[in-house]
A and B are shown apart, each in its own frame.
Chain A
Amino acid sequence: MLESFQEFFRTVADNHPTWNFIFFYDERQFGKVVSGLWMTIWLSVACVIFSVIIGVVGAAMQGAQSKIVRGIVSGYIQFFRNTPPFVQLLFFYFALGRFTPTYSPDGWLEIPIISNVGWAMISLSFFAGAFNVEIFRAGIESVPKSTQEAASALGYTRLQIYRYIVFPLALRVSIPSLNNNLVNLVKTTTQAFVIAVPELLYESITIWNDFPSAQNPMMVVLFVSYLALVGVVVLGMNKWEREMRVPGYGG
């Protein structure tokens, strides 16, 4: 079964020199596609989680009394929202990476404690996080002051008001915009390519550099993979939005 499958794509490659689906019959290339896909998923999941945490914490910090705290948050947003993520990745890896401590497992090698994958996670999380702060802030601002006042009159502390009233309501308002931003984040993980993170785009390019005949098939793989990945994100977010919906509240 598997052999005839592989045989079929070998024949395709022989007859159509631009359609070499090499990963279907060459185990090494198949391994690259799979590991690239895993890296993309791993990077996406980690960045989604961290960027949402950054968004929640940042939005809470924007409500702080201290002008300095609010200034830091808005400076952070300006920097990460208004510069290209591509440049940010380069900056984190090459400029900041130079100052990170290293360790040596064998006395010879010097390995930085933050790898290029680590820097990609940090950089992309802060990039998407800047947008998430703005998204959550808009959600928080949509919660009427009078609702918070009612909680306050019932003896809720500020923290309880945030946790049980403001945050759950703000989240419901934020989900559609959050959905958009997380979709963008998953797609932006391809830019980690620039610091040689072996994600799907990186692996695809190495494959077609070795086998130019595999370029078209690799592009198909890229499109199909991202359509599927983003599709999962969108489906998940839509399901979440439906589950969070409260009768008579919001759209």
Chain B
Amino acid sequence: MSWTKDQPIVSIKNVHKSFGSLEVLKGVSLDVMKGEVICIIGPSGSGKSTLIRCINALNDIQDGSITVEGQEVHDPNLDQLELRKKVGMVFQQYNLFPHKTALQNIMMAPVLVLKQDKAEVEARARVLIKKVRLEGKEDSYPGELSGGQQQRVAIARSLAMNPDVMLFDEVTAALDPETVKEVLVTIKELAAEGMTCVLVTHEMGFAREVADHIYFTDRGVIVEHGPPATFFDDAKDPRTVEFLGQIL
């Protein structure tokens, strides 16, 4: 792999994806540069979540190509572990392991998957807990934490693998309005540190604030994209205008 940092870290080219006879992605292309934050927005059912799930091979694709650091994701001979070391993912429903404490949730993958030293991982996990502002919750089980707290544990759990790219799939959609902010603050800090982030979100204000680039998808295609200022204030496509009119 001859990937260099001036090339896109994630490159999606003409991706087609169907569930049975239903075509969800109809030729989607986009590039993400290292350190960039991109937001994918659009009406529900437009294929945004499917698209980012394809990036770490949770969904397969029928046609096109997705590369992460030059590595083809949908190569049948792909080393899935190599890919998943590079790409972290946070889900709408947090998906923490309910039988493990917050600290154990964060530590498990580095210890089991990366075979790293337990003491060293624990030290790192405690730093991450602090980073997501959950000091004192190390030994709490997910069931004892609020949605916002669980989501921050999930973010820390992904970060513990030291990924190069983070995928966020509507991570605030299941949260109470008052806890949305604490999660967004965490993501904003990550973005400010230079983490490459791909977010699917409904938080337009947040997208406008943190994103370097916005993509608007509808019915399986990217209708319009651009930097937040142009995108939000100067949308061209009637579908974008209609969507923004409905939610802003």
Contacts and interface: CB of A to CB of B under 8 A. Distances in A.
B113 A249 contact: no
Interface in A136-168: 144, 146-147, 149-157, 160, 164-165, 168
Contact of B109 (A146, A156, A249): A156
Contacts of A150: 89, 91, 95-97, 154
Give the size category of B's interface with A.
20 to 34
A152 B58 contact: yes
Contacts of B98: 147, 169, 246, 248-249
Contacts of A105: none
Interface of B: 56, 58, 80-81, 84-85, 87-89, 91, 93, 95-99, 108-109, 112-114, 140-144, 154, 157-158, 161
Nearest to A153: B89
B81 A248 contact: no
A247 B144 contact: yes
Nearest to A169: B99
A244 to B, nearest CB: 8
B170 to A, nearest CB: 13
Contacts of A149: 58, 91, 95
A147 B143 contact: no
B99 A146 contact: no
A248 B114 CA distance: 29
A146 B95 contact: yes
Given A152-B58, A153-B84, A164-B112, A249 B99 contact: yes
B7 to A, nearest CB: 24
Nearest to B114: A155
A172 B99 contact: yes
Contact of A146 (B84, B91, B113): B91
Contacts of A156: 109, 112-113
Interface string A108-119: 000000000000
A146 B98 CA distance: 12
B112 to A, nearest CB: 6
Nearest to A150: B95
B141 A248 contact: yes
A150 B157 CA distance: 10
Contacts of B58: 149, 152-153
A169 B89 CA distance: 22
Most buried by B among A147, A149, A152, A155: A155
A174 to B, nearest CB: 13
A146 B144 contact: no
